[in-house]
Amino acid sequence: MPATLEQSFMKALFHGVIAEDMIFPFPETPKEERENVGVMLDTVRRFFNTNVDSKKIDQEHRIDESVLTGLKELGLFGLQIPQEHGGVGLSTHSYLRVMQEVAGRDTSVAVTLGAHQSIGLKALLLFGTADQKKRYLPALATGEKVAAFALTEPGAGSDAAGIKTHAELSPDGQSFILNGSKIWITNGGFADIFTVFARTSPAEEGKKPKITAFFVERGKGVTSGPSEHKLGIRGTSTTEIFFEDVVVPRENVIGEVGKGFKVAMEVLNNGRLGLAAGCVGLSQTLVKMAIERVQERRAFGRSIGDYGMIKDKIAGMLASLYALESMTYLTASMVDTKADYSIESAICKVMGSETLWSIVNETLQIAAGIGYMQDYPYERMLRDARINLIFEGTNEILRAFIALSGMAGPGKALVEVARAMREPIKGFGLLSDFAVRKARSMLGRERATRAHPLLSREAVIFEEYAGELASQTEALLRKHGRDIAEMQFAQRRIADEAIDLFGIAACLARTSRAIEKRGEEGARREIDLTTVFTAMAHKRLRQNASDYQKNDDELRKAVAVRAYQDGAYPFDLL
């Protein structure tokens, strides 16, 4: 079995292998840690109830300094920083639970904290040397210093190869001279330390640039532009950052020179999970608001909650949220056990942002007229939620990432098998392994043996479409080869199948644990939500499977190309 199958649940699934040991039993927080986090959550709730006015933050486009000071005093700027460096030292699971709580209370505060530690200082935790950690972490843990993540440029968002900011080695070799700018930097107006990505190789056409990550302190040559006016998360500081002949000591290189792309990807993998937890938190707040509203709003002499269409909305919201929460915390356990969670975190970000967007839209619809009025929080929450589909990788680029990362293993295996067939003696072991996997797929699909028998119907759906994912992956790779990188309609279908399969898997694992602990009646609500989510996912999986064979992809491409030529909608009935 390829090494990747032993390290990643989703990468294994693209091979048709259900790596159940990676998701069963569903992870539980140790009792002592659970109690400690419970105390912290109570403190956070009291602080927000007393000190945080979300309406004021939105209207004034800023978070009061007194609020930031209080957050620092609570230790919320150093949640994952080890205790030896002055932080709280939370596990990924516990960190996400605290960020979930914060995001459920105020999105601007959550994004400010997340920009500081989910991505701003994360490179230091993941790649920093002992000396770098000693120099920077204590002040970052207390919030004395605030961090920001500086990757995006006007021509370089998800495409890091487009980075223009550059750093040249000084003549004495002791430092780099940094020049360039970054846009849309959260915490940009007041951050003290920036994780900056810059070219350290000449710009040569046709050649991939060498990107290096640096810790850059605010000082001579580092300036911030004015705060951007935004649709939502208005309390956050979002600015452009300029670097003019900034001297960066060589010891402030993060990782290795020229290996900054790896640093950026690892940081964003982690940050996406924090974003997903934030989506869980705000979704929970919205579901509570929706349930309260359906019971107080009346039509035709009774509560609107009595009507079928409203019940359908509430059930769908609850089932999607249950799946998202299960996926997010299942992935957290993968982080803490050092598994490969890159695809899973991207899935959680896509699922989280789209679940939240659906829930906030439905909640505003349930609220009806008051949902549209600024005197009520619904419209602000809708505005705040929209950014999640864009930052830390747009959902479009992440769907391509999910598909292509998942297909990379099977693609490599097919190439190696083809090579081994030309040299059968040398490749005997590889061919044997491939033959065994093919024989297993021909004889029958992989089984989800650890799901509780009460979930057998849902487990069968998962098994069927896990096999579908693997077979379609192989078929697409055989048909398109390297051109699969350009086949974005197929990538989207593959990614959407992967998202739904991971959602079902997480629900199976979590609900199986609930049944084993509390019995069928004690776990009835988890069983019902798993059934509802799986039914919703099953419809999407069926549609995607059908669309591989029969679709209008080429027609849609042609329609778009013609519109580009027109430059607008081409009709007018006058």
Write the DSSP string, 34-63.
HHHHHHHHHHHHHHHHHH--HHHHHHHTS-
Look at residue 445 in the predicted model and tell me its pLDDT. 67
Q: In the predicted model, is pLDDT for residue 239 greater than 90?
A: yes
Residue 160 pLDDT greater than 90, yes or no: no
Percent of the chain topping pLDDT 70:
93
Cα 341 to chain center, whole Å?
11
- pLDDT at residue 183, rounded to an integer: 96
Q: How far apart are CA 186 and CA 523, in angstroms?
A: 42
Last residue of a domain, one of 348, 366, 393: 393
Pairing state of beta strands 147-150 and 166-169? unpaired
280 belongs to a structural domain: yes
Look at residue 208 in the predicted model and tell me its pLDDT. 82
Per-residue confidence (pLDDT) for residue 501, from 0 to 100:
98
Q: Is residue 37 part of a domain?
A: no
Q: Report helix, strand or coil for 95.
A: helix
- Range 401-424 average pLDDT: 79
Q: Name which of 1-10, 90-99, 242-251 the model is least confident about.
A: 1-10
- Check whether residue 142 and residue 291 sit in a common domain: yes
Whether residue 480 is found in the same domain as residue 545: yes
What pLDDT score does 313 carry? Answer: 98
* Phi and psi, residue 186, nearest 5°: -70, 135
- Over range 457-466, report the average pLDDT: 98
39 lies in a domain?
A: no
The arithmetic mean of pLDDT across residues 273-288, rounded, is 98
* 184-to-206, 225, 342, 386 alpha-carbon distances in Å: 28, 10, 24, 15
Q: Name the domain boundary from 327, 358, 393.
A: 393
Confidence of residue 446 (pLDDT cuts 50, 70, 90): confident
Domain of residue 461: give its range: 410-561
Residue 206, pLDDT score: 63
Average pLDDT on 538-562 reads 97
Residues 323 and 436 in one domain: no
Judgement on whether residues 62 and 182 belong to the same structural domain of the protein: yes
**Burial profile 90-109: b = 16 or more Cβ within 10 angstroms, e = fewer:** bbbbbbbbbbbbbbbbbbbb
Instruction: Give yes or no: 392 in active site.
Output: yes
From 326, 360, 393, the end of a domain falls on: 393
Q: Is the pLDDT of residue 106 over 90?
A: yes
For residues 519 and 529, give the distance between their C-alpha atoms in angstroms, rounded to a whole number: 16
For residue 238, pLDDT beyond 50:
yes
Indicate whether 353 pLDDT > 50. Answer: yes
Q: Does 402 map to a domain? A: no
Q: Which H or E run includes 148? A: strand 147-150
Query: Residue 136 sits in a domain of what CATH number?
Result: 1.20.140.10
Q: Which pLDDT score, from 0 to 100, does residue 154 have?
A: 84
Q: Are residues 172 and 245 in the same domain?
A: yes
Kindly indicate the confidence band of residue 170, based on its pLDDT and cuts at 50, 70 and 90.
Answer: very high
State mean pLDDT over 540-559. Answer: 97
**74: helix, coil or strand?**
coil
- φ/ψ region of 525 (left if φ > 0, alpha if ψ in -120 to 50, else beta) reads alpha
The span from the CA of 332 to the CA of 131, in Å, is: 28
Q: How confident is the model at residue 85 (pLDDT cuts 50, 70, 90)?
A: very high
Question: 148 in a domain, yes or no?
Answer: yes
Each residue of 486-505: pLDDT tens digit?
Answer: 999 999 999 999 999 999 99
Among 328, 277, 275, 262, CA closest to 123: 262
Residue 505 lies in a domain: yes
User: In this structure, are 424 and 389 located in the same domain?
Assistant: no
Give yes or no: residues 384 and 511 share one domain.
no
**Residue 568, domain member (yes or no):** no
531 and 556 both lie in a single domain: yes
Angle at 532 between CA 527 and CA 538, to 5 degrees: 120
Question: Tens digit of pLDDT for each residue in 198-225?
Answer: 999 887 666 788 999 999 999 999 999 9
pLDDT at residue 174 tops 60: yes
pLDDT for res 162 = 81
Q: What pLDDT does residue 413 have? A: 81
pLDDT at 113 over 50: yes
Provide the number of structural domains found in the chain: 2
The verdict on 389 and 414 lying in the same domain is: no
- Roughly what angle, to the nearest 10 degrees, separates helices 107-114 and 92-105? 150
Verify that 331 and 368 share a domain, yes or no. yes
Q: What percent of the chain has pLDDT over 90?
A: 88
> What pLDDT is recorded for position 427?
46
Residue of 392, 446, 474, 526 with catalytic role: 392
Considering only residues 442 and 398, tell me which one the structure prediction assigns the higher pLDDT. 398
Token digits of residue 426: 């040398």
Whole-angstrom Cα distance, residue 344 to residue 270?
Answer: 10
Are 383 and 466 members of one domain? no
Predicted TM-score of the model (pTM):
0.94
Does residue 338 sit in the same domain as residue 458?
Answer: no
Under the banding of pLDDT at 50, 70 and 90, the label for residue 245 is very high
HSE, side-chain direction, 13 A CA sphere, residue 169? 13
Which pLDDT band, with edges at 50, 70 and 90, does 228 fall under?
Answer: very high
- Here the tokens at position 396 are 């479009």
Q: Does some domain include residue 79?
A: yes
DSSP H helical segments within 444-568, as ranges?
456-480, 488-522, 524-549, 553-566
